[in-house]
Amino acid sequence: MNYCCTCGATIAIRTPPGDALPRHVCDACGAIHYRNPRMVVGALAEWDGRILLCRRAIEPRLGKWTLPAGFMEIGETVAQAAARETLEEANARLELHDMYTVISVPQANQVHLFYRARLLDLDFSPGEESLETALFGEHEIPWEEIAFRTVAMTLRHFFTDRISGAFRFHAGEIPPP
């Protein structure tokens, strides 16, 4: 960030009074521009024991498999973002259940949040950002082709919880590679 989005003046990076971290500060109007992690929101959608995955048509990780997910938009709830991303990437409608995983990815300035969900029907197909959509049973998951570590972590939690018979909330983080 080079210019203040409030007044257009150049900004400086300094620690404002009462703060502990350097921030983008406009010396002309006094605006403090905070840079916060971006929320990536999605759904682990299930149908008859199988999980909906999308093969990515865009970078990063073009051609790899992922849960339907994407960046949360201004003005929507986390649940709305999960449903919207699933509809955009897989043309799939679902019933959201509980928040399932929250995984910090500090090196990417992101937090990934996944809901458990149930597909409402089998009428799904690739959206603009997907090459392919498919349902996978546990032993069919293309583990070596999973796009993101947060998705692999969420899937592993799901299959472990399913064996135990109790789905619980999981929080964690992805260390730098």
Residue 130 has a pLDDT of: 98
CATH number at residue 25: 2.20.70.10
- Check whether residue 160 and residue 120 sit in a common domain: yes
What's the mean per-residue pLDDT of the chain?
Answer: 97
- Check whether residue 59 and residue 125 sit in a common domain: yes
Residue 72 has a pLDDT of: 98
Average pLDDT (78-99) is 98
| pLDDT at 36 exceeding the cut of 90 | yes
- Check whether residue 96 and residue 139 sit in a common domain: yes
Pairing relationship of beta strands 170-173 and 23-26 according to DSSP bridges: unpaired
Number of domains making up the chain: 2
| pLDDT at 26 exceeding the cut of 90 | yes
Q: What is the pTM of this model?
A: 0.92
CATH number at residue 156: 3.90.79.10
- Check whether residue 66 and residue 19 sit in a common domain: no
Residue 66 has a pLDDT of: 98
Going by C-alpha positions, the residue among 53, 112, 107 that lies closest to residue 78 is: 112
- Check whether residue 31 and residue 46 sit in a common domain: no
Average pLDDT (94-117) is 98
Per the structure, the complete domain to which residue 26 belongs is given by 1-35
- Check whether residue 84 and residue 13 sit in a common domain: no
- Check whether residue 30 and residue 43 sit in a common domain: no
Residue % of the chain over a pLDDT of 70? 100
Instruction: Output the CA–CA distances (angstroms, integers) from residue 68 to 79, 81, 131, 174, in the order listed.
Output: 13, 11, 12, 19
